[in-house]
Structure 1
Amino acid sequence: MELRAFAEQVLLRPSLEEKLTAPPATLTDTDPGPAARIAEPERTPDLVFAPRRSAPSMPSPQALADPHKRAIAHHIMANHELQALEVMAWVLLAFPEAPTDFRMGMACVMRDEQRHTRMHAERARKLGVEFGELPVNCYIWKKAQEFHSVLDYLAGLPLVFEGRNLDHTCELAEAFEAAGDPRSARLMQVIHDDEIEHVRFGIEWLRRLKRDDQSDWDAFVDHLHWPLRPGKARGMVFQREARLAAGLGAEFVDRLEKWTDEESVETG
């Protein structure tokens, strides 16, 4: 199977089953084709992006004592994972000139995103909510429309969205455990471990593609598009060791941990 065909399967087929069908172990990238920037992924009517602010917000940790609220949380995260998968497919179509090793590595990450989507959707179902039963937002997808290079993608998705998830997965694992739902807590730990590898993929390719005279941090900041900024790459409880395990340098982690949004104004 050609990598482009896999990207088109994820992005242009509305069926969730097709989107989540993993590609064969042997993929080829001999015909990446012309660049194509898709405005919106094809989705079935129940998963079409909802109008702004109509999708439910993430329940508070205290609210997760209610199984229905836990189901809502998994429903929201299933959509986050699905958007990440679709954005990765979008990148493969938008930047066919990217190095083959990068593109093939993306396919490996996409397999994880497919699995994460299924895990959250199945857990939501067990808790009483079918995936697609609630409105879903398009925030991650809309931010991707501002990516004009592979470096923009690396700064924005692996190092901001997935970097932030290093914190959120731990926070939610703790909250699910406190709510008496160890199965959901274990699910979050599995995803946390995968996110370490996804952030590693992001920083390794940022280093390979950035200018030689740029530090990792400067390349990261230079390729963020507002409102994405370093502060968006953190949750409430900063998981320093997870970031170091992902290969972020100590200086990078220090600057991220100490970042204040006032710096966004100073640096423009």
Structure 2
Amino acid sequence: MTRTAIVTGGGRGIGAAIAKRLSFDGLKVAVLDMGPTEDTVSAITAAGGEALGLEADVSDESSVKAAVDQVAQTLGAPTVLVNNAGILRDNLLFKMTYEEFDKVLSVHLGGAFNMAKAVQSYMVEEKFGRIVSMSSTSALGNRGQTNYSAAKSGIQGMTKTWAIELGKFGVTANAIAPGFIETDMTKATAERVGVSFDDFVTAATKEIPVARSGKPEDIAHTASFLASEGAGFVSGQVIYVAGGPKA
């Protein structure tokens, strides 16, 4: 049986790496993003996989419902969900506007809620489901990220709640908390603090026990496991993929 996965924010970075990996694992993959999805979809189809690219705003319930309905009709019941879509609006507390705070929560937390609510009925009906949501080491606190830290902490609480509510239906829910991963988001952070990305990576690597920075593929491998049949007894967990025991 070929299962269908949805990866939000799958147009680039970590999301794209996860989408490609799940296709490699044999899943049909729907790539949802506010931006272009063509590169990810093309890479999957070129490798012999089946993929669908859709524009969707995860913070908008009607947009999510329309996208999930289309995925179900085109690829089949979505029983694997990866909540990866996210944005940054970094600022120190005294500078952060409520709009910056609220927008980040609406995309990360609201988006994960909307997606999970939309797909859970398919998972319950199929008696199989995997929800994998992106948290972050920033959940433990990070300067200039009141909004992002709050959202990523919230992802962990929602994940544990979904594990409790949906477990009896064969559905697991887990979160991945990446450490320093080389993506467009970390490049944006380097720009915000006014250093070159190479220097930013070098400084970060000095604090990482495995002595290297993370790559999107590192997160994709972990997502691959959590989405697999074999991970059925792993639920409600937060896995820190950070190159060491702490952020």
Give TM-score, length-normalised by structure 2: 0.30
Q: In terms of Rg, which structure is larger? A: 1
Give TM-score, length-normalised by structure 1: 0.28
- More helix by proportion, 1 or 2? 1
